[in-house]
Amino acid sequence: MKKFVSLLLVLALMTTFIGCTAGTGKVYTLRTSTNLAATSTVGKALARFVELVNEKSGGRIKATANFGSELGNQAEQVEMARLGDLEMVVAAPGTGPGAYEGLGQLMMFEFPFLFKDNDHYRRVLKEMEGEVSELVSSIGFTAMAGQSQGSRSILTTSPVESIEDMKGLVMRGPNPVYIAMFEALGSSGITMDWNEIYTALSQNVCDGCEGSPSSLNASKFQDHAKYLAVTNHIIACIYYFFNTEWLESLPKDLQEIIRECAEEAVKYQEEIDDEDQGAALEQMKKDGVTVTEITDIDKWKEACAPLLDEYRAKGEEWAAFIDKLTSIE
């Protein structure tokens, strides 16, 4: 009888041990990064995403986030994710993956006067997610969670009240589309990472930059540039680019959790971004920024209009991508 009881106890302990082991399982590391500030709406949404993943995975995924230039500039962060040193990078499609061979057409997400408004742009981001994923699969990425950063305007160290005032200015742009736009407007462009702009403005390396009120205010560029021309010339975006090998190594239920959390992060960013754009503009005014509503915007549009044909002429893949973007209502 004693032997029988002892056997039952051993079996019970083994069952408990096996159950605990199965419940613990493997813990996956999810390191994420963005070159944008933690105070930006994209930065806040990334923090929310990480929080949701940690919570909903029940500890099976350990997610962390880095912001700004903590891990290098955007290009360096994208390369880290491609090589597996990060599991996900938050990047603009054109400036991030678009810098790799065969992916330049992703720059069309940030093209002057191509989209009607922010609501239209968000529909484009959602409907183009599959197309973007297919393209970036060539460098080992899967795209999710497209987020608008809002309509962009011109921030300068001297007043800009009309297109004529753009002549001779040196303007920062993140990729060749922006540089081409500035040249069409009579300025010259200089390429640098977002995190280099503050110093460049303070040292007169450039005369201005552009961005949405929310993104400009989050980085406090108004410390060195006090004139904002409201042009709404481009709407910019980011996607979450996951290292596909890592993503597909997850059990199916964890892959679903990642997607669910990414979708929730998008909704959260949309909510706070709409509110933050107005609040950021008011803060910039309090910080001494003069805001000018551009009245000759049709001249700006006319100056940039020929660029679309130039980019269509880059090749069939460019023309096809442009057609897909512009077909979404």
pLDDT (average), residues 90-117: 96
pLDDT tens string 126-158: 999 999 999 999 999 999 999 999 999 999 999
Q: Write out pLDDT tens, residues 279-298.
A: 999 999 999 999 999 999 99
Residue 159: band (very low, low, confident or very high) from pLDDT cuts 50, 70, 90: very high
Pick the CATH number of 27-326 from 3.40.190.170, 3.40.50.2300, 3.40.50.1820, 3.40.50.300: 3.40.190.170
pLDDT averaged over every residue in the chain: 92
Tell me the C-alpha to C-alpha distance, in Å, between residue 17 and each of 7, 9, 23, 195. Answer: 15, 12, 10, 51
Amino acid at 182: F
Give residue 25's pLDDT: 82
Supply the DSSP symbol for 186.
T
Contacts of 233 (CB under 8 A, 6+ apart): 112, 113, 151, 152, 153, 154, 181, 210, 300, 304
Q: Two tokens at 51? A: 């929080």
- Grade residue 315 by pLDDT with cuts at 50, 70 and 90: very high
Query: Of the candidates 255, 218, 212, which has an alpha carbon nearest to the alpha carbon of residue 236?
Result: 212
* pLDDT confidence band for 83 (50 / 70 / 90): very high
Q: Are 238 and 42 in contact (CB under 8 A)?
A: yes
- Residue position matching structure tokens 């949404």: 45
232-272 per-position pLDDT tens digit: 999 999 999 999 999 999 999 999 999 999 999 999 999 99
Enclosing H/E stretch for 239: strand 235-243
CB contact at 8 A, 145 and 46: no
pLDDT score at 9: 42
Question: What is the DSSP-derived secondary structure letter of residue 174?
Answer: S
pLDDT bucket at 106, cuts 50 / 70 / 90: very high
Residue 155 contacts residue 274 (beta carbons within 8 Å): no
CA nearest to 148, candidates 277, 316, 52: 277
Confidence of residue 326 (pLDDT cuts 50, 70, 90): very high
Pairwise CA distance, residues 129 & 221, whole Å: 31
- pLDDT tens track for 25-78: 899 999 999 999 999 999 999 999 999 999 999 999 999 999 998 999 999 999
Banded model confidence at residue 327, pLDDT cuts 50, 70, 90? very high
Closest CA to 86 of 31, 9, 168: 31
